[in-house]
A = this chain, B = another copy of it.
Amino acid sequence: MASSPQSARKPSRIQLRNRKRILEAALEVFSSHGYRGATLDQIADESGLSKPNILYYFEGKEDIHVHLLNQLMESWLEPLEQLDPAGDPLQEILEYVQRKLEMTREFPRESRLFANEILQGAPRMGPHLQAGLKPLFDEKCALIERWVQAGALAATDPRHLIFSIWATTQHYADFDAQVRVLMAGEKGVLDGAGTHLETMFRKLLTP
């Protein structure tokens, strides 16, 4: 029996490539069926590797899922981190909205993977939210609060403001199946959303 490459010193090129293929396939499968709904068979099919081969590269189904969530957390925090204390307050927030919407457009599967996890009580991501998201959230809420105090933004609760931004932007990825039915094949849905959200948050925040 070969030992798992988990313990190897330097990952070979093949290792890196195959781990990547597996994670890519797993993102596809987990994001559309949820953790329990996904099977190793599906991930094997999607990645073009055999099932035992997948378990050669990862310790198991859960290990793959955890890797995906860890990766995800970083790219999830980034747009909020970019909120710049030195920038123009209204502009900064409107740009944040557009960045989030851009992520919905570029990474809808990641959005659904995250939504699946949170929806089911964040069983594997709870600690990550505490350690990673919470401090950043608090920091940026304090920043927005200072902007409000300085009169650069209309009075608003920064926490609910951020929730509204997350909710409205991620909605187009997470509820895509519903949006598709209701928008009946219309093109450029996200462009329309961009215009709408820009107007909404501008009106809300203009002092």
Binding site for B on A (CB under 8 A): 32-37, 112, 115-116, 118-122, 126, 129-130, 133-134, 137, 156-157, 159-161, 163-164, 166-168, 170-172, 174-175, 177-179, 181-184, 192-193, 195-197, 199-200, 203-204
Contact A175 B34 (CB under 8 A): no
Please judge, given known A-B contacts A34-B34, A37-B35, A203-B204, whether A171 and B181 are in contact too, CB under 8 Å.
no
Contacts A119-B175, A157-B196 known; list 14 others, CB within 8 Å.
A34-B37, A35-B37, A112-B119, A115-B115, A118-B175, A129-B177, A160-B192, A164-B168, A164-B196, A164-B197, A164-B200, A166-B171, A166-B175, A167-B167
Contact B193 A163 (CB under 8 A): yes
Chain multiplicity (copies):
2
From B168, B183, B203, give the contact of A203 (CB < 8 A). B203
The CA of A177 and the CA of B115, in the complex, are separated in Å by: 11
Contact A159 B171 (CB under 8 A): no
The CA of A193 and the CA of B156, in the complex, are separated in Å by: 11
Please judge, given known A-B contacts A122-B177, A134-B182, A168-B167, whether A193 and B160 are in contact too, CB under 8 Å.
yes
The CA of A196 and the CA of B159, in the complex, are separated in Å by: 10
Give every chain B residue within 8 A of A177 (Cβ-Cβ). Answer: 118-119, 121-122, 126, 129
Contact A121 B32 (CB under 8 A): yes
